[in-house]
Chain A
Amino acid sequence: MRRAIAFTGYELLRSFRNTRFFIFTLVFPLILFYTVAGSNRHAELGGVKFPVYYMVGMASWGAMTAVMSGGARISLERSAGWTRQMRITPLSTSVYFGSKVVAGYLMAIVSLILLFGAGISLGVRLSAAQWLEATGLLLVGLIPFVIMGILLGHLLSADSMGPALGGVVGVFALLGGAWGPLGQTGTLHRIVVNIPSYWLVQAGHVALGSGAWPLRGWVVIAVWTLVILRLTVVIYRRDTAKI
């Protein structure tokens, strides 16, 4: 356990030293939040105050990028021969993946804190319980994405990872309504409610009190988590058998 913690510590050190990535992950959502929410302070969006909706939308976008990048680094480490080097040490696969998950989540938490701070600066006011609930829901809603990062880390080459990550996160953010809801009714709406990023963004509904996620939200997150986990295990097995 002590060894697992020490190893994870170095993984965190590495993520936070990778400043270029760090800045892009954190700064884009912040800028967008200030420019868009700043000029619509008093409007409403998706049934809640505009800044609340947009704060959670941008936090979802940034946090999705952060958690997925944790696993996505595996791709670089694979192509550099580092994962093979690790396989001739006592390091277990679960600690290796675990360190990516923890590093991704920690970056995500930094991103949430920054966006929440930005929200407060534009007048968002929530009770302590509501802040906690929103944070909790976001962290749960990120589970399928953190695993998806590990999956992409095994599927894609290091070269294609940058654009692929941006693209995948962009599509999920768009469909989830991070940049604005895609309508409350109609076919498109019926489709997007089955996408986990939709529920991430819905965490903003804590502002309305009483349970931001209906049962459906929990089920969507659980099903996506299980399916992606299963896929990742299959790909990982295929990959290690080949090497």
Chain B
Amino acid sequence: MSAEEQSSAVVLQGLVKSYGPVRAVTGVDLQIRHGETVALLGPNGAGKTTTIDMMLGLTKPDTGSVSLFGQLPRAAVARGAVGGMLQNGTLLRDLTVRELVAMVGGLYPDPLSVDDVLRITDTVDIADRRTQKLSGGQAQRVRFAMALVSNPELLILDEPTASLDVGSRREFWGVMRRSAALGKTVVFATHYLEEADLYADRVVVMTRGRIVADGPATEIKARVGRKNIRATLADVGIDSLRELPGVVGAERRGESILLRCVDSDQALRLLLSRYPAASDIEVTGVGLEEAFIEITEGPDSSLTSGEDH
């Protein structure tokens, strides 16, 4: 084992997994240090779940290796070092929340106390309710409680908020924050850029089975968090618009213009001060999918495609 593997919480090397003709993961290398909170960001079908399942030892990679704290996933799981929340998981019925959390905790050598876990996950008031009678947000918090009860060093969460409304999502992340404060290493998959930006130190972007970007959340947000400004503005040269700070591409269609921006706030301020005639202004976020495709196809392709029209 390399020194690298020993000092990292997670080391993925050359992971490849195909399902028949579908190449779900096409070569993933990733190292995660102790205590990091990492978002695995990507659109549906990017290979996030497949990667996470291989990390947890649920899916066997075609080639490549997974090491958690220098151990195979099975061994790390068996000693209680890993807590996981799988995608689309449900709860076992006919038990109360407290019983379920106690049952799962009872499988581990050194679990947290059930009361502590219920408190951290904000499930005290539903502790005596049967698991089949919970709302979506409550059920996710209980599933999180099950992942946490072993007091794991590493938490792996696959799209924990995908099915939740905005309020429940915020509640969930509030709970997550409290437990991340316990000094755990956290890896979570999401297809919401805001979530990755708000809750992760580091964002790893996946599309089509590969990692296409990896860096601090702010940096990734600047790269994928693009916005478009549309406005009606006649008689202004497209080249001078393209030179506005914050703008990376510009198009004109008759009277209306489209500015592709990395910093739409700055671009908008300058647009209005230099061209007060601009009207019908609209600022829209670029879909994550579109932003990912830009990343995948290289940093400059968006500029050229902008100019081509």
Contacts and interface: CB of A to CB of B under 8 A. Distances in A.
Interface of A: 3, 6-7, 10, 13-14, 17-18, 77, 80-82, 84-85, 87-91, 241, 243
A91 B89 CA distance: 17
Contacts of A6: 103, 106
- Helix, strand, loop or mixed for chain A's interface? helix
A118 to B, nearest CB: 28
A14 B78 CA distance: 25
Contacts of A81: 86, 88-90
B57 A88 contact: yes
A88 B79 contact: no
Given A90-B80, A90-B107, A84 B95 contact: no
Nearest to B99: A10
B150 A84 contact: no
Contact of A7 (B58, B88, B91, B106): B106
Given A10-B95, A17-B94, A81-B86, A90 B106 contact: no
B84 interface: yes
Majority DSSP secondary structure for residues of B touching A: loop
B146 interface: yes
Interface string B68-95: 0000000001111010101011111111
B90 A82 contact: yes
B107 A3 contact: yes
Nearest to B78: A90
Contacts of B109: 90
30 contacts: A3-B106, A3-B107, A6-B103, A7-B103, A13-B95, A18-B94, A77-B92, A80-B92, A81-B89, A82-B91, A82-B92, A85-B84, A85-B89, A85-B146, A87-B57, A87-B58, A88-B58, A88-B77, A88-B82, A88-B84, A89-B77, A89-B104, A89-B107, A90-B78, A90-B79, A90-B80, A90-B107, A91-B107, A241-B60, A243-B58
A14 to B, nearest CB: 4
A81 B85 CA distance: 11
B79 to A, nearest CB: 7
A39 B308 CA distance: 92
B257 interface: no
A241 B99 CA distance: 31
